[in-house]
């Protein structure tokens, strides 16, 4: 069985035997947001290509390293580069690192991504706390939990009405307000598509009418698997571009713009995440 409990355990044990850091927080860096990993002190980094059973990063802006370290004294592990459906990976490979996180002892996952803004009030550079998602590939049966269920990870039919932890959401709002980020901190619904082609104008209009505030090609699959195995989830989108909603517009979505906006807001995003991490409470604080 691919990405089985045994396979994931072997990978986790390989990592645990090579670092003394026992992370309680797992962080995933979105496109152009890999700088988050550089915040970790006393780093121990593994290239994805060296880790048994691990997929490889193929997208520009995703370095392909798993970094262990301390963030303001808290043990963390950080994926500097994530996997997407459009890279050609089967969906369970895209999400496998969440199971590795779980087996490393992670209790809280913080996911970040770059996304297009669908909400007309949003501006490029806004940070959107994800309060819920719409899983378009899921509607078509492409769910990372499809296939036999291993109860050692979680139940067959996990609830998703509590996917995004409300306490962590409140914490982020508080930390954001303290940092003076109120003007560009939002809360909204993220819609995932398969990519790699960006959306048509009609597709953007449709998603917006369906209640989505931002659109991207990641995160949701990871959230489903993280919740399935009982980790708490917090996620945020950096609005790197405005989705094109108007036939008179000459704008075209492009990955270079996505990476450039990442650069612009990187420092604020890092401060938000690191200040949040210092406030997160864990059951097991001896790491």
Ligand X SMILES: O=P(O)(O)O[C@H]1O[C@H](CO)[C@@H](O)[C@H]1O
135 forms part of the interface with ligand X (CB under 6 A): no
| Cα–Cα distance, 30 to 258 (Å, whole number) | 10
Residues with catalytic roles: 31, 62, 84, 86-87, 114, 217-218, 241, 255
Interaction pattern, residues 223-262, with ligand X; x per rule: CB under 6 A: --------------------------------x--x----
SS3 content of the chain, % helix, strand, coil (to 5): 35, 25, 45
* Window 141 to 180, contacts with ligand X (CB under 6 A): none
Is 282 annotated in a binding site? The answer is no
| Cα–Cα distance, 54 to 99 (Å, whole number) | 12
Residue 33 Cα to chain centre, angstroms: 11
Nearer to ligand X by Cβ, of 44 and 253: the residue is 253
Which one of residues 79, 114, 127, 272 is an interface residue with ligand HPA (CB under 6 A)? 114
| Cα–Cα distance, 171 to 200 (Å, whole number) | 35
241 forms part of the interface with ligand HPA (CB under 6 A): yes
Number of residues that bind ligand HPA (CB under 6 A): 13
Query: How many C-beta atoms lie closer than 10 Å to residue 191's C-beta?
Result: 27
Q: Is 209 exposed, middle or buried (0-12, 13-18, 19+ CB in 10 A)?
A: exposed
Which residues contribute to the annotated binding site? 31, 62, 82-84, 114, 199, 218, 241
* List of residues contacting ligand HPA (CB under 6 A): 114-116, 198-199, 215-217, 240-241, 243, 253, 258
Which residues contribute to the annotated binding site for phosphate? 31, 62, 82-84, 114, 218
């Amino acid at each position: 069985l691919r990405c089985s409990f045994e396979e994931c355990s072997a990978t986790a044990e390989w990592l645990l035997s090579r670092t003394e850091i026992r992370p309680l927080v797992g962080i995933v860096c979105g496109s152009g947001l890999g700088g988050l990993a550089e915040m970790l002190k006393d780093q121990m980094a593994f290239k994805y290509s060296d880790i048994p059973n691990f997929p490889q990063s193929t997208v520009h802006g995703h370095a392909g390293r798993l970094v262990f370290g301390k963030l303001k004294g808290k043990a963390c592990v950080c994926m500097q580069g994530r996997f997407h459906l459009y890279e050609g990976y089967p969906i369970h490979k895209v999400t496998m690192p969440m199971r590795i996180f779980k087996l490393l002892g992670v209790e809280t996952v913080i996911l970040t991504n770059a996304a297009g803004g669908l909400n007309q009030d949003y501006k490029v550079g806004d940070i959107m706390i994800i309060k819920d998602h719409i899983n378009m590939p899921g509607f078509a049966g492409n769910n990372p939990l499809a296939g036999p269920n291993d109860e050692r990870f979680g139940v067959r039919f996990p609830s998703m009405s509590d996917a995004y932890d409300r306490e962590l959401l409140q914490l982020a709002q508080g930390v954001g307000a303290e940092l003076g980020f109120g003007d560009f901190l939002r809360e909204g619904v993220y819609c995932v598509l398969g990519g790699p082609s960006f959306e048509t104008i009609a597709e953007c209009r449709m998603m917006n009418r369906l209640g989505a505030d931002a659109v991207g090609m990641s995160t949701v699959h990871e959230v489903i698997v993280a919740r399935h195995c009982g980790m708490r989830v917090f996620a945020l989108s950096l609005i790197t571009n405005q989705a094109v909603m108007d036939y008179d517009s000459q704008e075209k979505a492009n990955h270079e713009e996505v990476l450039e906006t990442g650069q612009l807001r990187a420092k604020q995003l890092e401060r938000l995440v690191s200040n949040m991490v210092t406030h997160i409470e864990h059951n097991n604080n001896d790491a």
